[in-house]
Amino acid sequence: MSATSPVRPVLPPDIRARKGGAPLVVLTAYSTPVARLVDAHCDITLVGDSVGMVIHGLPSTLGVTMEMMILHGRAVVRGSQKAMPVIDMPFGSYEESPQQAFRNASRLMAETGAPSVKLEGGQHMAETIAFLTARGVPVMAHIGLTPQSVNTLGGYKVVGRADEADKVMADARAVEAAGAFSVVLEKVPEGLAGRITKALAIPTIGIGAGVDCDGQVLVVDDMLGLFTDFRPKFVKRYAELGKDANAAIAAYAAEVRSRSFPAAEHSFPDVLPAKDKT
Ligand code: KIV
């Protein structure tokens, strides 16, 4: 960024205006260095509650707290210049009432500096989405497979086949009518995701929802090969950083044990050579 041409950060109306245009590129990030990498290439940086599983080793997203989202949200905002940070509202922070949702969404925005939040749910969250958007909280909705409901759904299943299709379409229409500026479709069959994308005036962002969505999102640790506990079908690995890191750590361990690290160039002599002032 130069003083004469400052980078203008992406905001929710910019995302909404991208409907039907070039595909929106979204990745998660949970730290400043990864947010910087994502910022250079993406439109949105999602501080997903997947942070609980990917970074904190939790078995699901249910144990994620407001404090975790604020800490990781701040780190991501610090690493973002252009791409828009979106902070996930954690399980239990918004479902009770629109007032509870506003209290926690406004806290996430005030304490992280992010301009928007994401929450899970369709028709049953429409009143809350309307309450938030009317009060200055831009909302990205998340329907289809909603991981915070894994126990009521009975697993991380595809949502929207056969009889379920009408409900997912109704969820999509409800969150749009309530004022969401975009909607994540997770593990929705590709044909249905295409029909929803055509039916809505707001962008759909797919994860396991086929190529016809207005954008795509992946968990960054999944696509970099850093999180390998399990691998959903929708994850494409663009790198194998976990394998590379394992090889690097093994090499370090072997060199420490054989005393080949540190070498002379990593050590400080007792007396400086005449020309070396370092
Ligand atoms: O928490 C998350 O990372 C998400 C994406 C998978 C959409 O919600």
Check pocket membership of 49 for ligand 1, CB cut-off 6 A.
yes
Q: State the total domains in the chain.
A: 2
User: Percentage of the chain with pLDDT > 70?
Assistant: 97
User: 210-224: per-residue pLDDT in tens?
Assistant: 999 999 999 999 999
Tell me, in angstroms, the distance from the centre of ligand 1 to residue 219's CA: 7
- In terms of domains, do 29 and 75 share one? yes
Does residue 4 sit within a domain? no
**Domain region containing 67:** 12-240
Model confidence, pTM: 0.95
- In terms of domains, do 122 and 253 share one? no
Does residue 82 sit within a domain? yes
User: 108-151: per-residue pLDDT in tens?
Assistant: 999 999 999 999 999 999 999 999 999 999 999 999 999 999 99
24, with CB counted inside 10 A (0-12, 13-18, 19+), is buried
Res 276: pLDDT: 60
Check pocket membership of 28 for ligand 1, CB cut-off 6 A.
yes
- In terms of domains, do 267 and 176 share one? no
- In terms of domains, do 47 and 174 share one? yes
- In terms of domains, do 201 and 265 share one? no
What CATH number has the domain bearing residue 51? 3.20.20.60
Using the atom order of ligand 1, give the atom closest to the CA of residue 205. 7
Judged by phi (left if over 0) then psi (alpha if -120 to 50, else beta), residue 200 lies in beta
Q: Whose Cα sits closest to atom 4 in ligand 1?
A: 48
Does residue 188 sit within a domain? yes
Check pocket membership of 221 for ligand 1, CB cut-off 6 A.
no
- In terms of domains, do 181 and 256 share one? no
Q: Is the pLDDT of residue 258 over 90?
A: yes
Q: Half-sphere exposure (CA, 13 Å, Cβ side) for 108?
A: 35
Tell me, in angstroms, the distance from the centre of ligand 1 to residue 163's CA: 25
SS3 state at 48: coil
Q: Whose Cα sits closest to atom 2 in ligand 1?
A: 48
- In terms of domains, do 67 and 199 share one? yes
Catalytic sites, residue numbers: 186
Confidence grade of residue 87 (pLDDT, cut at 50, 70, 90): very high
- In terms of domains, do 136 and 184 share one? yes
Mean pLDDT of 82-92: 98
Distance CA 66, CA 173 (A): 28
- In terms of domains, do 115 and 17 share one? yes
Using the atom order of ligand 1, give the atom closest to the CA of residue 120. 8
Tell me, in angstroms, the distance from the centre of ligand 1 to residue 49's CA: 6
- In terms of domains, do 31 and 157 share one? yes
What are the C-alpha distances in Å from 8 to residues 57, 84, 143, 262?
35, 10, 30, 45
Does residue 2 sit within a domain? no
Alpha helices in the chain (DSSP H): 12-17, 32-39, 51-54, 66-78, 98-112, 126-134, 150-153, 164-178, 190-199, 220-223, 241-257
Does residue 1 sit within a domain? no
Does residue 68 sit within a domain? yes
- In terms of domains, do 166 and 260 share one? no
- In terms of domains, do 132 and 220 share one? yes
User: Percentage of the chain with pLDDT > 90?
Assistant: 93
Q: Is the pLDDT of residue 1 over 50?
A: no
